[in-house]
Amino acid sequence: MHPIRLISFGYLHLPTGPDGSPVPPAADRIEDVRDPAAAHDILDLDGFHPRVQDIVLGTPGARELLANLADYATLPAGPRRIAIGCAGGKHRACSLTELLAHALRDCGREVEVEHLHVHLPRVLKTPANGTANPEQETAR
């Protein structure tokens, strides 16, 4: 069986197509997990952190989505790529991708993981022109 590649990304960091909509990475299945609300106590963390993963798993539908994706990934002629995107790619998409990778490896699947935007600054808002406004990193 071929390895499966899991990709996390942030919609607000993607290039836009001719129609102005974001162009997600190429994948057999793309999951849009954008959520307008984020817990303020995790904003400085990323989806690798257990606290963030716990919060994401507590989101209604998250466990069901992971189970569905795991079932899909283990089909005999299953996908080669699954991409999961949230607004910035730092919390929800990264967490779900890591949790899915762990579940698939537990089932004996070979998994490659790529996080496209987890390292980028958090996106604070999207101005009227539709372009992302990444937070400026400041020394603390």
Which residues, listed in sequence order, are joined to residue 112 by a DSSP beta bridge? 5
Closest CA to 10 of 128, 138, 113, 122: 122
Residues 28-39 pLDDT 10s: 999 999 976 667
Predicted structure pTM score: 0.86
Tell me which residue of 102, 103, 79 sits closest to 31, measured CA to CA. 79
pLDDT greater at residue 138 or residue 81: 81
- Contact present, 56 and 96 (Cβ < 8 Å): yes
Q: Are 72 and 79 in contact (CB under 8 A)?
A: yes
Q: Please write the tens of the pLDDT for every residue from 47-65.
A: 999 999 999 999 899 999 9
Are 35 and 61 in contact by the 8 Å Cβ rule? The answer is no
Average model confidence (pLDDT) across the chain: 87
What are the residue ranges spanned by the domains of the chain?
4-134
- Nearest Cα neighbor of 103 from 38, 32, 39, 53 is 53
